[in-house]
Amino acid sequence: MTGRQRTVLGLGMALAASLGIPAWLGGSQVFLHIGRTAPWALVGAPVLMFLAWCVNGLRVRYLLAINRHSISYTRAWLIAAGGDFGGALGPGLLTGIGAYVLLTTRAGLASFTAVALFTLEKLLDLSVFFATLVVSITLLAWLAPGHVPWYIPITAVALSTVLLTAIGLGAGGARTILRGSAGLMGHVGVSGKFRRRWLRWGLGFRRDVRRVMAQPPHRLAVLLTLAAGYWSCRFAILPLLAAGLGLSVPWPYLVLVQVLAVFAGQLSVLPGGAVSVEVLFALLLAPWIEREMLGTLLLLWRASVFYLTLVGGGVAFAGALGRVR
């Protein structure tokens, strides 16, 4: 089976799961409740996703600008939305980083510079996640005391801390990782030519990751603000849809659910974090929402984030490949 066939198969399984689980939860009532959802919520959810890409386009353009690569905002927007499309095609960060590197190298960046910028973006994203979790948990303790199991906030903060530390140590310990990987290649019989190319690439990445991490505070502040703007738009989608369905769930809890869903999506082998995202979503919201309404909310949320990324992000990805030089 070719790589393209595996991608198509995985995407088909992901779509089947992300459609089948809400249908199983809500049954025939799902579409009835969708028809009763407030129009402003149905329109507002995809608009928020579009605004998230607009903010992320600013981040891409700013990142490339501080690396002396000037591109138009339109091209930066295509890279931002196309990168999300790549991330939705596979498990974890693998396809996401592949799409980001492909599109940014077409804009003139070296591949090791693109990976260094991607590393900085993920560190900023995790910083936003950590702050979001702390704020959400604090507000929940005030708005809905005793309604959230103690292990949820502790697990969320611990997981974000571990990931943030791992990426930071990985970037800081690039030299050790580089030497270890080259030695391992030698033991398994990888050619010397490939190992030398790998070492040159790794040295370039090590140099660039140090450079991008050493940005002046005002630039890091701008990048962190843009990251916060991007995720704020995305995390506002679920509370908006819940309000449109007339559900009374504290909005900090809905934000917390989305943060945990992003983490769960990285653990799934299917595109878009299928199955793991749906299962976590159902487990966390079942105590708050009736089953048929839960299926409706899950379907609307996945449509606004996952399905829209596959369609709109896919068009942007194709446009970026065709327009970025």
Q: In which band, very low, low, confident or very high, does the pLDDT at 47 lie, cut at 50, 70 and 90?
A: very high
pLDDT above 90 covers what percent of the chain? 30
Element (H, E) at 135: helix 111-143
What value does the CA radius of gyration of the chain take, rounded to a whole number of Å?
21
Nearest alpha carbon to residue 215 among 14, 45, 44, 66: 66
Q: Where are the alpha helices (DSSP H) in 144-236?
A: 151-172, 174-187, 192-213, 217-235
Asked if the model's pLDDT at residue 243 lies above 90, the reply is yes
51 exposed, middle or buried (CB, 10 Å; 0-12, 13-18, 19+)?
middle
Per-residue pLDDT tens over the stretch 83-126: 999 888 876 667 888 888 899 988 888 888 888 888 888 888 98
255 confidence band (pLDDT: 50, 70, 90): very high
pLDDT for the residue 325: 46
